[in-house]
Structure 1
Amino acid sequence: MASLKKRGKMYYMQYYVGKKKVVRSLGTSSLQIAKEKIRQHESAQFRGEEVAMPTRTPIAEVSALSSET
């Protein structure tokens, strides 16, 4: 289960994977939107789906994808 934290104006989601604490920015300053994003995250985890959160993509991978088109 994820918890909601506010730092400054932005909301963050905090949860544990095993014994490791994971903190992710929800990218919003709205409490209602932050709660909805946490609900979506928990629903995806319950269904065993990959969590749709932004990830860091290496520049080489992005340029390889763009050169294919």
Structure 2
Amino acid sequence: MNSPAGQEYFSREMSVYYNLGQERMQRLLCRRLSRALKAMNYTSGWARRNLKLPKLMKDPEEQAKLPLSER
């Protein structure tokens, strides 16, 4: 794995996986964070403004209609 070509290929592959995982992690973290905040009764306008949380939706079907960037 010491050849530069092999290393470049490896890092390119990894970055693809990393970027894919990044979006999923972000969505997961947002969901976790908002759930935790909700438990603390903290999903006020303040939290949403300052923590840049997505607006919480009760209806999962409504959420499914949104583009991924807004979920």
TM-score, normalised on structure 2?
0.27
TM-score, normalised on structure 1?
0.27
Flag the structure with higher helix content.
Answer: 2
Flag the structure with higher strand content.
Answer: 1
Larger radius of gyration: 2
